[in-house]
Amino acid sequence: MHQQKGKKILIYLFLFLIVGSINNTALTKIRFDTIKSIQISGLNQNQNTNLLESIKELNLKNIFSLNGNQISKIINSNSLVENYEIFKKYPYTLDIKIEKTNFLAKINNNGKTFLIGTNGKLSDVEFLDKELPFIFGKPKIDEFIKFTNVIDQSKLSLNQVKNLYFFPSKRWDLELKNNVILKLSKDHTKLSLDQAFELINDKNFKDIKVVDARIKNQIILNDWGIKFWSVFKPFSK
């Protein structure tokens, strides 16, 4: 009985070595084959093509010895890319899936207009595919991204905004598409946004043109005429 088991083990071991040898031989041949296809998706056709041409300049060899850092460097340098994934499809193909950044606003930089993406990068306006608010002033990009995150957490939407005004004091004003101007508090930005939103949607103040929420515990409304309202709105801690 023990001898039969020993023979079976030897047979299985022999077969394993043969199959392993065949696979290693085939694998050795594959390893020296050049990558034949690079597929990129997520951007438009021209943008995908431009990115593909940049990657091809790396003269990539075989898929097994691929240095992903080289490709990542090229992809990360593209201002349109938010996120990406690189998939190896053995033995000859690379599949790169791109998530395009979402453009938030336009800004002037050294006399030229650029788009600011959620990736924190500037892109040429040629990529603009929708109407976006314009930023006046000179905020740092990370300051603007941080401010848009506050807007997202408030009752207001960035889609309602026509222009943004940034001041050296690090405070923001918003001009809405209905031409109402919101003057926001520097220290209680989200709360002043929420309170301003409630007031501009209050039928009792349908004619207001300016909502000034800069002063703590008080919001001043103005209709650009002779009417002023001072609304007491305590700020929460």
Integer Cα distance of 89 and 183 in angstroms? 54
Whose tokens are 């340098």? That residue is 77
Q: Which CATH class for the 32-100 domain?
A: alpha beta
- Which fold is adopted by the domain 103-231? Rossmann fold (3.40.50)
Q: Please report, for residues 2, 85, 170, the alpha-carbon distance to residue 151 in angstroms, rounded to integers and kept in the order given.
A: 76, 29, 15
Integer Cα distance of 25 and 4 in angstroms? 32
Whole-number pLDDT of residue 225 = 54
Q: Give the per-residue SS3 of 40-95.
A: EECCCHHHHHHHHHHHHCCCCCCHHHCCHHHHHHHHHCCCCEEEEEEEEECCCEEE
For the segment 39-70, what is each residue's pLDDT rounded down to a tens digit?
A: 999 999 999 999 999 999 888 877 777 778 89
3-state secondary structure of 194: helix
Per-domain residue ranges for the chain? 32-100, 103-231
Cβ atoms of residues 225 and 206 within 8 Å:
no
What ranges in 77-184 are assigned the alpha helix state H?
Answer: 141-153
Q: Which of 126-130, 150-154, 185-189 ranks highest by mean pLDDT? A: 150-154
Whole-number pLDDT of residue 27 = 46
Q: Model's pTM, two decimal places?
A: 0.77
Integer Cα distance of 103 and 127 in angstroms? 9
Which bin fits 200, alpha (ψ -120 to 50), beta or left (φ > 0)?
A: alpha
Domains 32-100 and 103-231 share a fold: no
For the segment 165-184, what is each residue's pLDDT rounded down to a tens digit?
A: 999 999 999 999 999 999 99
Tell me how crowded residue 197 is: count the other CB atoms within 10 A of its CB: 18
